[in-house]
Amino acid sequence: MNALPGIFNYLVVVFLMMAGFYVVIAQGNLIKKLVGLGLFQASVFILYITMGNLAGGAAPIVTEG
């Protein structure tokens, strides 16, 4: 069960992608389709942010001195 926290973001991404895709395919209303596309787009952004994680990386903040 130790692997679950490591893949939690990917599970959220898959759930949002499937929900957004379902809304786009199943609904006939244009506004509902736009909401589905928004869900799908948010899941892609979360995926990109999750994949951008570096092991041992630090924020590029310059301190005085």
Q: What is the pLDDT of residues 31-58, one digit of tens each?
A: 999 999 999 999 999 989 888 877 777 7
- Residues near 46 by Cβ (< 8 Å), separated by ≥ 6? 9, 12, 13, 16
Q: Where are the domains of the chain?
A: 3-52
pLDDT for 34 equals 94
Q: Under a CB-based contact definition with an 8 Å cutoff, are residues 11 and 17 in contact? A: no
* Residue appearing with tokens 């899941």: 43
pTM over 0.85: no
